Amino acid sequence: MRTIGPWTLALLALATPGWAADIYRWTDGAGNVHYSNMDAEGDDAASVARDAPVAPPDEEASLNDATGDTADDAAGGTTAPADPSAFSTDASLRRNALERDLRATQQRLHEVDAHLAALARARGQHAQGSAATGGVATPTAAPEGIDLRSEEERTLATEREQLAQHADQVRDQAAKLREEVTARLGVTPPWWIDLRSEEERTLAAEREQLAQHADQVRDQAAKLREEVTARLGVTPPWWIDLR
């Protein structure tokens, strides 16, 4: 039997469109795919359509193996890890990335606000006349439709608006991630902490310290009451518990 390779077959098919012989595709006992112009005795053989493109065996196998993965990727995109521990790790990393993004955005917001405030103060100073204006006062109000802000102020104001919108988007993404984590694990895990800015973190830490101090003061007042009662034999009428 005369066996030809798939590339030779493809070239012959292109060179001789009127080729009359049938082409057969068959697999031997070792799993190797063959193409031949003769039927294989004792082996299953299938006729190959003359107009169909011939793919090399290795490419054909690769396409068959990859079909399922390609469909899954197209349908659902990136699949979350199936293992709960791996999923928690992945979600925690995504949450931390969002928090870093939010912090950087809010830090830039503070910088822009400080710069805008400085420019506004300078504009107020120029209103009374300054060295920068040669002693000539500048207007503080303008007719409707006229913007007295400098080009720098307008640029910074636009940037500030974009930063504020981005911060809102990051918070929305964090909220959706929390919902995803809760739905996947059945409960909000103890390691989850809602996104907070640096200022919010500072205020939260200060509040916690104040709450602890208030508890300490109440404990001291309770001990003082016990001391007074033990000394006088009764709680005096002038004693009023802290409120």
Give 33-79 pLDDT, tens digit per residue: 666 655 555 555 555 555 445 445 454 444 445 444 433 433 334 55
- The whole-number pLDDT of residue 75 equals 37
Mean pLDDT of 141-155: 73
Question: Which position has the higher pLDDT, 203 or 93?
Answer: 93
- The whole-number pLDDT of residue 204 equals 78
Kind and range of the H or E run holding 3: strand 3-4
Q: Could you give the strand order of the β-sheet that contains 24-27, starting from the edge strand earlier in sequence? A: 3-4, 33-36, 24-27, 45-47
- The whole-number pLDDT of residue 200 equals 73
Beta bridge partners of 36: 3, 24
Is residue 10 within 8 Å of 43, Cβ to Cβ? no
- The whole-number pLDDT of residue 124 equals 73
Mean pLDDT of 89-115: 91
Q: Report if pTM > 0.75.
A: no
Q: Is 53 helix (H, G, I), strand (E, B) or coil?
A: coil
Is residue 145 within 8 Å of 161, Cβ to Cβ? no
**CB neighbour class for 91 (10 Å; exposed up to 12, middle 13-18, buried from 19):** buried
Mean pLDDT of 116-121: 88
- The whole-number pLDDT of residue 24 equals 62
> Which of 80-84, 101-105, 106-110, 134-138 has the least mean pLDDT?
134-138
Pairing type for strands 45-47 and 33-36 reads unpaired
> Which of 105-114, 155-164, 190-199 has the least mean pLDDT?
190-199
Of residues 34, 50, 46, 32, the one with CA closest to residue 1 = 34
- The whole-number pLDDT of residue 61 equals 46
